[in-house]
Amino acid sequence: MRCRHCGKPVDLILMDLGSSPPSNSYLANDDPQSSETFLPLRVLVCESCWLVQTEDFADASLLFGTDYAYFSGYSSTWTDHCRTFTDEVTERFGLDRSSRVVEVACNDGTLLNYFQMLGMRCTGIEPTASTAAAALDLGLDIREVFLDNEVAGSLAADGVIADLLVANNVLAHVPDIVSFTAGCRRLLASSGVASFEFHHLVELVSKTLFDTIYHEHFSYLSLTSAEAVFKAAGLKVFDVEQLATHGGSLRVYAQRVESDRFAISDSVHRLRDHEESVGVTSPSFYTGFQERSDRIKDDLMGFLLHAKNSGQSVAGYGAAAKGNTLLNYAGVHTGLMAYVVDNNPAKQGKFLPGSRIPIVDEQRIVDDPPDFVLILPWNIREEIARRLESLDGWSGAVVTALPELQVD
C-alpha cells in the first residue's frame, strides 16, 4: 500500500482488527439468512509524512450511504460544543451578517444553524442524503456532494467563497485527503480562516483508544502530519487548541499560505515540540498499541462473561460507531448484551452491524432494567449517566470499557 497523502510505501502496522462490517451499516432486521459485508480493518503508519491510515478496502459510497444514521444533534454535549464554537469564532474573527460560513460535512446542520441564527450567509456541504435532508429542514443552503478539488472549483465559480470554512470531524472521513484539502483552500477567501477538528493521534495512541478506528475513518492525524497535508494543499496552520472532545482532539486554524493575516501562535510551536518529544516521528511510538488494545478487549469480555455466569444482565447505551468497533473486535453478541439503547429514531428498531444486537429506545431500561449499562460512547459518559439517573426504576451500575474498564 502507498500513503494516501505522500504516495510513499506504507508498511508499519499500528493495529489489525480483523474483519468487520462498516460501523454505521445498521441492519433493518436480524434474519440469520441476511448477509453483511465484512471488510478487513488494518491501520498503518507512513514513516515519511507520519499519516496514520486504514488500508484501502472500501469505497466511500459504501460507507456513507443514503441511510447514514449518525445525526450530531442528538447529543447535548455536542450541541453545547457547537454553540460555544460559534460564539468564540464569531468574536475572534470579526464575523458579521456580511460573512459567509461554509461547513464541509455539515451533517444535520446543528453547527451551521447557529451561524444562520446570527444572520450570516451559510452553505453546507453534506453527501449523505439522510442528514442533508435534516439540514435542509432548518432552511440551510445544502449542496449534497462529496467535496474534492473539482467540486470546490464548481462551488467557487457559483460564488461559494468562505470567510470561515469549518471542517470539524471530517478530515478522518475523506479517502482522498489531498484533493479534499486542496478543495478547502479553493473555497477559502484570500483572508479567510479554515477550522478543522479531528481526533489527536497522540491521545489516541497514548490512551489506546482503538475504538476510534473504523472503516469510515480513513486517516488519523497529529499536528505533525496535518501540517504536512495542509502545506501540500496551500494552507498553513496559525493556531491550534487541544480539546477534550472524543477523548482528545485538536482544533486547528489555517489560512492560505500567501496570507499574513495571522502570525503563527506559540501554541503551534509548543505542540510541535511536544509531538517531537513523545516520538510521533519514531516507529517506536506506535509499537505495543495492539497488545494494549487486546488487554482492554479481554478485560471487557471477562466482565461480560462474569456477569452472565452470575446471572446478571448487561445492556448497552449509545449505538455509536466506536461501540461497534469495540463489540465486534471483542466478539460480543446478544447472549452477553441483550439490547442497546439509542435516542436517535433513525437507529431504533434496527440492529448493530456484526453483533446484531437490537437497538431500542430508553423506555426499555425502565421496562426491562439491566444490572449494568455499558456506555459505548464513553466520551459522553457524564451526559448519559445523568440521563440514566433520571429514569424511574433503574438503579444499576454504569460501565465503560475505555480507556480502561470502569464500573460505578
- Compare 96 and 29 and report the one with higher pLDDT: 96
Question: In the predicted model, is pLDDT for residue 288 greater than 80?
Answer: yes
What pLDDT score was predicted for residue 63?
Answer: 59
What pLDDT score was predicted for residue 336?
Answer: 97
Mean of the pLDDT values across residues 384-401?
Answer: 92
Q: Is the dihedral of CA 25, 30, 33, 39 positive or negative?
A: positive
What pLDDT score was predicted for residue 306?
Answer: 98
What pLDDT score was predicted for residue 245?
Answer: 86
Residue 374 Rama label (left phi>0; alpha psi -120 to 50; beta)? beta
Angle at 357 between CA 20 and CA 340, to 5 degrees: 115
Question: In the predicted model, is pLDDT for residue 69 greater than 60?
Answer: no
Pairing of strands 397-400, 372-375: parallel
Continuous segment of H or E residues that includes residue 380 = none
Mean of the pLDDT values across residues 42-50?
Answer: 97
55-64, 71-80, 287-296, range with greatest mean pLDDT: 287-296
Continuous segment of H or E residues that includes residue 61 = helix 60-63
Question: In the predicted model, is pLDDT for residue 76 greater than 90?
Answer: no
Angle between helices 266-278 and 223-233 (to 10 degrees): 120
Question: In the predicted model, is pLDDT for residue 67 greater than 90?
Answer: no
Please report which confidence band the pLDDT of residue 192 belongs to, taking 50, 70 and 90 as the band edges.
Answer: very high
Q: Is the dihedral of CA 135, 141, 142, 147 positive or negative?
A: negative
Question: In the predicted model, is pLDDT for residue 91 greater than 90?
Answer: yes
What is the C-alpha to C-alpha distance for residues 336 and 313, in angstroms, rounded to an integer?
8
List, in order of start, the domains of the chain with CATH numbers. Answer: 72-278 (3.40.50.150), 289-407 (3.40.50.720)
Q: How far is C-alpha 29 from the geometric centre of its chain's CA atoms?
A: 26
Which string of b and e fits 194-225 if b means at least 16 CB within 10 Å? bbbbbbbbbbbbebbbbbbbbbbbbbbbbbbb
pLDDT, tens digit, 9 for 90 and up, residues 292-350:
999 999 999 999 999 999 999 999 999 999 999 999 999 999 999 999 999 989 899 99
Q: How many helices (H) does the chain have, and how many strands (E)?
A: 13, 17
Average pLDDT, the chain: 93
pLDDT, tens digit, 9 for 90 and up, residues 6-22:
999 999 999 999 999 99
Q: Is the pTM of this model over 0.85?
A: yes
Please report which confidence band the pLDDT of residue 58 belongs to, taking 50, 70 and 90 as the band edges.
Answer: low
331, 360 contact by CB (below 8 A): no
45, 12 contact by CB (below 8 A): yes
Question: In the predicted model, is pLDDT for residue 2 greater than 90?
Answer: yes
